[in-house]
Structure 1
């Protein structure tokens, strides 16, 4: 965790050193979250909100570290019952993206992220002890800039680590079949 914080500080320090090439902003939006793997869950609507720094590296390439609060989780069916259960996992996510400007308006982005579990509730009951405190993922996305300040984006986050805290996996198949976060988000962003 110390390495992640030090890396984030180094990136922000680099951004301040090149302030004429760095822009800061805020973003927020809706997300569709679920689990991938061999689990029987349904999509849940969540949200994402936070801030970012866009650090220009070369003419069409920027590095964009972000600090986001993300409401994730999934819905599930109770066995033998028609009612839905609701699992709410809240994370502080720190993605670091490479952002490429195809045109002045259209961008594509990709990069890793680490998430820190803030809370976990299953039907209102605290279940944080049953879930891993850190989550790793990879982001793919695209964006459209309406103006120099206002943009929208669509991003998919592929979970790379299992979310359930059940120790080591017996074999590789168990790992690949484990529940991993899967998030599709649409956001609006404003750069200052």
Structure 2
């Protein structure tokens, strides 16, 4: 699956090469509604929490009606609140989404589009964290140094400059993990529990 998304990203960048393509640059920011999905809820569970992202973006309009490619470099912060203790896990990363998009124009007023593609993430915050001392059966939280996710979304561009969009960002593979021991997992001596940081994202962008 990771190889497939990497090939899609390379194909998107290759299609953006024709000299007739139009390139627009801008800034982008938005909100994450993060859902940390933990594969063993008997050990630990997390609540949704809001984060944010911001950075620069570029849009390539291809010489094929309706097709385009967009890419961004974003600072991204996501959080999850652990239900058992109220402790908050914070993930800080640089995210690079690359999306293939298809749009339908409504004259010079608006363009409605759908998009999908891979997103490459690189952790820049603390990699390890400790849990509340009341959870003596879990420890050693670890964020991965890098992760791959995917995007599927829709949006609208108004007056060729202002863009609003909403998408679902889903993790491909684990975002992080922790070790659990003791009675919380039926007396198994030790087990690595995996977590994925999925998110609904709402964003605004302005192209110059």
TM-score with structure 1 setting the length:
0.76
1:132 aligns with 2:148: no
Sort the Cα spacing of 1:144 and 1:77 in 2 relative to 1 into closer, same or farther, 3 A: same
Unaligned runs of at least 5 residues, structure 1: 167-173
Answer with 1 or 2: which has the greater Rg: 2
Q: Give the aligned length.
A: 172
Deviation per CA, 1:51-106, whole angstroms, max 9, x where unpaired? 11111222211111111111013111235xxxx11111011011110011033421
Report the more deviating stretch, 29-38 or 136-145.
29-38
Q: Which residue does the alignment assign to 1:35?
A: 36
Q: Is the 8 A contact 1:88 1:122 kept in 2?
A: no
**Is residue 34–residue 72 contact of structure 1 (8 Å, CA) maintained in 2?**
no
Q: Give 1:113 deviation, angstroms.
A: 0.9
Partners of 2:194 and 2:122 lie apart in 1 by 19
Residue 58 (structure 2) aligned to one of 50, 53, 62 = 53
Q: How does 1:1-192 map to 2 (within 5 A)?
A: 11=13, 18=19, 21-38=22-39, 39=41, 40-57=45-62, 58-78=64-84, 84-104=86-106, 105-120=111-126, 130-164=142-176, 178-192=194-208
| Cα pair 2:103 2:112 within 8 Å, conserved | yes
Compared CA separation, residues 129 and 116, structure 1 to 2 (3 A): farther
* 3-state SS in 2 of match to 1:59: coil
Which position in structure 2 is the counterpart of 1:171?
none
How big is the shift at 1:164?
A: 1.9
Quote the offset at 1:178 in angstroms. 2.9
User: Mind listing any 5+ residue stretches in structure 2 that lack a counterpart?
Assistant: 1-5, 133-138, 179-190
Report the TM-score, using the length of structure 2 for normalisation: 0.71
- Greater alpha carbon shift after TM alignment, 67-76 vs 18-27: 18-27
